[in-house]
Amino acid sequence: MIKDILPMSIIAEGSRVPHKFDIAASRLRCLNYRKRILEVSQQVAALHIGGAFSALEMIDCIYHGLMNRDSNNGSSFDTFILSKGHAGIAQYVVLENLGILSRTDLDLYCKPNGILGCHPDFGVPGIEASTGSLAHGLGLSVGMAHADRLLKADRKIYLLMSDGELQEGSVWESMMMGANLGLKNLVAFLDHNGFQSSGRTRDNHPKFYPIREKVEAFGWECLEVNGHDTDAIYRAVLNRKGDSPFLLICNTVKGRGVSYMEDEPIWHFRSPNFEEYEQALKELEKKYNEK
C-alpha cells in the first residue's frame, strides 16, 4: 500500500547519512505509517496502537534522518533498539517502507506462519534485540555501545524507551553505567506520552516527575522536544554536545492523529472496528491536508 503511494525515491532510501532530512517527506511517510497500521489492525486485533502512534515520528527520524544504513544488504549499520517493544508494529511499518520487511511479512503479522509478533524478536530482518518486556533495551544498548568502542566500530546505538519503562529500577542501573562508561555513541529517546496501562502517569505516579533533572543527575545530557516534530527531533540530536550519553525526552500524544484515541487509555491495546477505522483514515487525511 505504502509502496503504491510513495514515489520511488522515498521508498528505497538506501543511501548513507548524513543526508538532508526531508521534513515534508517524513510527514507523508508518517501519514502512511498510520494508515498502514490501521490497515493491519483490521487483519488482526493484536497491536498497541496508542503507543505506536505516539512513537512514529521518532522512529521515522531515527531511520531516515539519523542512522547510517548499509545500502548493500538493506540491514542497518547503526543499531536501533525499540525497548518499548509493544510499539513493534510502528517499527515494522517503517522497515516495510524501507524494504527490509516485505508486505507479505506484514500480511502475516501475528499469524502462525509469519515471523512478526506483537513484540520484536532478535533475528527477524531489521530487528536487533528481543524486546517486549520493558527495561531490557538500555542494558543491552550499554553493552553494545561499549563493545563498539572496544572494537573501534564507528557506530551509534539509537534506543527508544517508553516513559512507563523508566519506573523499572534496571533502567536507572543501566543509566548510571552508561554515564560511568562515558558512552558518547549512545542516543536514547523517551516516548513521553504521559500514559501507561493504568492511566495518566502524572495522576498515578506523581513523583515520577521531573524526568529531565533525574536523567541529568545520572550524568546524561538531556533535552526535551515535541516528539511529533521530526525537524525538532533531528536538530536536537545533531546539535547535542555529545560528551556523554544523550537522552531526548520527546513529548508525545498517545494515539496521536485520531481524535477518539488521543490520551484515551483504552487505545493502549484496542483495535478499531470498521466504522472507527474509516473515521480514523478520514481524520488522518484531513489533518495532513490542513497543514
Partner 1 sequence: MRNRFADTVYQLGLEDQRVCVVVADISPAGSIVRFQREFPERFINCGVAEATMIGIAAGLAMRGLRPFCYSIATFSLYRPFEMVRVDLCYQNLPVTVVGMGAGVIYSNLGGTHHAMEDIAVASAIPNMTVLAPCDPEEMGLATRWCATESAGPVYMRLGKIGEANLTANAVAPFVPGKIRYLQRGSDVAILSYGITVAMAFEISHNLMAKGISVSVLSCHTIKPLDKEGILQILHSHKRVVVLEEHVPHGGLGSRVKEIAWDARADCQLQSFSLKDEFIVCYGSHEELLCAHGLTVKSVLEKLL
Q: At what angle do helices 23-41 and 88-97 cross, to 10 degrees?
A: 120
Distances (CA, A) of 196 to 34, 42, 202, 234, 251: 21, 24, 10, 26, 14
Pick from 209, 197, 124: nearest CA to 166: 209
Quick check: 119 binds partner 1 (CB under 8 A)? no
Site for partner 1 in 236-265 (CB under 8 A): none
Site string for partner 1, 176-195 (x = CB under 8 A): xx---x--------------
Quick check: 83 binds partner 1 (CB under 8 A)? no
**Residue 27: CB minimum distance to partner 1, A:** 34
CB of 196 within 8 A of CB of 159? no
Distances (CA, A) of 113 to 96, 105, 106, 109, 116: 18, 10, 12, 9, 9
Quick check: 160 binds partner 1 (CB under 8 A)? no
**Residue 185: CB minimum distance to partner 1, A:** 12
Quick check: 173 binds partner 1 (CB under 8 A)? yes
**Residue 174: CB minimum distance to partner 1, A:** 5
C-alpha cell at 195: 500514559
Instruction: Determine the interface stretch with partner 1 among 35-43, 170-178, 253-261, 267-275 (rule: CB under 8 A).
Output: 170-178
| b/e code 234-269 from CB counts within 10 Å (16+ = b) | bebbeebeeebbbbbbbbbbbbbbbeebbeebebbb
Q: Please select the residue that binds partner 1; options are 69, 84, 86, 136, rule is CB under 8 A.
A: 136
Gap between the Cα atoms of 174 and 260, Å rounded: 37
> Which residue, 52 or 142, has its beta carbon nearer to partner 1?
142
Quick check: 138 binds partner 1 (CB under 8 A)? yes
**Residue 217: CB minimum distance to partner 1, A:** 16
Site for partner 1 in 57-76 (CB under 8 A): none
> Which residue, 141 or 196, has its beta carbon nearer to partner 1?
141
- Binding-residue total with partner 1 (CB under 8 A): 28
Strands (E), 74-207: 79-82, 157-162, 186-192, 195-196, 199-200
**Residue 251: CB minimum distance to partner 1, A:** 27
Gap between the Cα atoms of 175 and 180, Å rounded: 9
Q: Please select the residue that binds partner 1; options are 99, 117, 143, 182, rule is CB under 8 A.
A: 143
Gap between the Cα atoms of 119 and 136, Å rounded: 13
Residues that bind partner 1 (CB under 8 A): 122, 128-130, 133, 136, 138-151, 153, 169-170, 173-174, 176-177, 181
